[in-house]
Amino acid sequence: MKRLLTAAVAALLLASCSTTGTESPKDNAPVQLLVFGSPDELAAYRTLVSAYKGGQVQLVEAADRKDLITKLSTSIAGGAPQDLFLMNYRFYGQFAAKNAIEPIDDQLKKSTVIKAADFYPEAMKPFQWAGKQLCMPQNVSSLQVYYNKGLFTKFGVAAPKPGWTWTDMLTTAQDMTRDAAGHVVKATEPEAGATPPAVHGLGTESVMIRLAPFVWSNGGQLVDNDAKPTRFTFDTPAAREALKNFIDLRLGYGVIPTDDEVKAQDLVARFTSGKLAMLLESRRITPTLRAAKELSWDVAALPTYKQPGGILHSDAYCITKASKNKESAWKFMEFAMSPEGQRIIAATGRTVPSHIATAKSNAFLDGNAPAHAQIFLDAVPSLKAVPTISTWPEIEDITEGILENALYRGDKLDDVIAEIDKQTKPIFARGEAS
């Protein structure tokens, strides 16, 4: 009976939303590339597409990451998926686990344009699923500290130095938190009629990918098993210490803006308008900062606890399994990953090329801000990736809420750890790992 019902439901659902028949290559149809991004990024993709002479490529632009996931899943269900899509390693797991991505090992081996060894292995590995290379990483970005050089000069505070520690960053952030008269202040909880600081020392989002590198740097682990995680391990001493220090940034030390201030003006806007001295961000904000002509800024390495710790930020081109244009899609992917394609995207400033030779060339180290762009390349050997589990998007959303309340409402550390465990354990259990 169950089988009969399942079959009936499957037939009904598939008939209602799918037109998939036998796959037939459509030689003349353009390759559809699904992306999302800022206007700068989209302009770069358009340049990349127009530079490609191997055939027609149609750019399909999603509003944001969540919209991209919706577009991709519904198009797969409809039997007419985009041929290529660009997705972060943290989110591709839900498609990889469902066997919706075409492995590219064979094409990569045969290719005369690119070789696997041309790319940073730190970026290649997270896109391997069950021993197969599913996607090609477009970039190998990481979390670093952006700082406002003008503000540091104005207040006579030493700029971040290589090898600095978490404590150094905290002290610097305290020194840089100033009122309108330029006096060092401690930002407190919002009070009626109180004037907030004019400049906050530091800005960070309350998300797991901001906290994770500090856990690793402190010698801790984020989850119990990187390959097949079942729970977070914030109850271990190293992870607990990193979490405590992270959530103390607001209510303990008063160096980051309140949630109301962040809602009023987001962190990047606060940084560009001189209201933040330092900002924890990946390479993606570089085009925005370059566009702020009045701003004098640079980038410094992430501070450390016991050892260098960094977190990978990487997006990759993936071919959908149900694509009817796989060969053409691979040809375009090959071009996008070639030195020429990587140079075009690198010119936007948005990415750290995953192609090693391009990353070390003037295409990336082009003399434009940030002056210390080399920091992104120096960080690569110490980069770690969060688990590529299929339910990671849910886990990130849930933990963001818990960390936000911890940071801004002052939830007790034990409660925060217990809540993270309680809320995420069932989601880990549902997830499929590579």
Partner 1 sequence: MRRSAWWMLAPYLIGLLGLVLIPFGITVAMALTEYDLINPPEWLGWANFRELWHDDGFRTALMNSLVFAAIAVPLRLGIALMLALLLHRRAFMAGSARTAAALPTAVPEIAYGLLWLWLFNPSFGPINQVLGPLFNRLGVLAPRWLTMPADARAAIILMSLFTIGEMFVILVAARQALPRDAYELAEIEDATGWDIFRRVTLPMLAPVLGVLLIRDTIMSLQLSFTPALVVTKGGPPPHSTTYLSLFVYRNAFEYLRYGYAAAATVIMLALTMLAVLIQAVILARARQMRR
Nearer to partner 1, 16 or 19 (CB): 16
Are the C-beta atoms of 18 and 2 separated by less than 8 Å?
no
Are the C-beta atoms of 332 and 52 separated by less than 8 Å?
yes
Nearer to partner 1, 249 or 402 (CB): 402
**β pairing state of 310-313 and 141-142:** antiparallel
Residues in 115-174 at the binding interface with partner 1, rule: CB under 8 A: none
Task: Give the binding range for partner 1 (CB under 8 A) out of 122-130, 189-197, 236-244, 292-300.
Answer: 189-197
Nearer to partner 1, 119 or 392 (CB): 392
What is the Cβ-side half-sphere exposure of residue 110, based on CA atoms within 13 angstroms?
7
d(CA 61, CA 36): 5
Sorted by sequence, the CB contacts under 8 Å of residue 217 that are 6+ apart come out as: 166, 242, 302, 304, 305, 306, 307, 308, 309
Q: Which of 44, 62, 100, 249 binds partner 1 (CB under 8 A)?
A: 100
Q: Which of 21, 39, 156, 193 binds partner 1 (CB under 8 A)?
A: 193
Residues in 349-388 at the binding interface with partner 1, rule: CB under 8 A: none
Interface pattern 247-286 for partner 1 (x via CB under 8 A)? ------------xxx-xxx---------------------
Q: Which of 133, 391, 424, 434 binds partner 1 (CB under 8 A)?
A: 391
Nearer to partner 1, 66 or 186 (CB): 66
Residues in the chain, total: 434
Q: If binding is defined by CB under 8 A, does position 20 make contact with partner 1?
A: no
Q: If binding is defined by CB under 8 A, does position 335 make contact with partner 1?
A: no
Q: If binding is defined by CB under 8 A, does position 208 make contact with partner 1?
A: no
Residues in 65-94 at the binding interface with partner 1, rule: CB under 8 A: 66, 69-70, 73-74, 76-77, 94
Which segments of 123-177 are extended strands (E)?
A: 128-129, 132-133, 135-137, 141-142, 144-148
Which residue matches tokens 């997006």? Answer: 315
Q: If binding is defined by CB under 8 A, does position 6 make contact with partner 1?
A: yes
Q: Residue 259 Cβ, how far from partner 1 at the closest point, in Å? A: 4
Sorted by sequence, the CB contacts under 8 Å of residue 223 that are 6+ apart come out as: 229, 230, 231, 232, 233, 387, 428
Q: If binding is defined by CB under 8 A, does position 56 make contact with partner 1?
A: no
Sorted by sequence, the CB contacts under 8 Å of residue 379 that are 6+ apart come out as: 142, 144, 301, 302, 308, 310
Q: Where are the alpha helices (DSSP H) in 292-412?
A: 326-337, 339-346, 356-359, 374-379, 392-409
Q: What is the CA 347 to chain-centroid distance, rounded?
A: 19
Q: Which residues bind partner 1 (CB under 8 A)?
A: 2-3, 5-6, 8-10, 12-14, 16-17, 66, 69-70, 73-74, 76-77, 94-95, 98-100, 190-193, 259-261, 263-265, 391, 393-394, 397-398, 400-402, 404-405, 408, 423
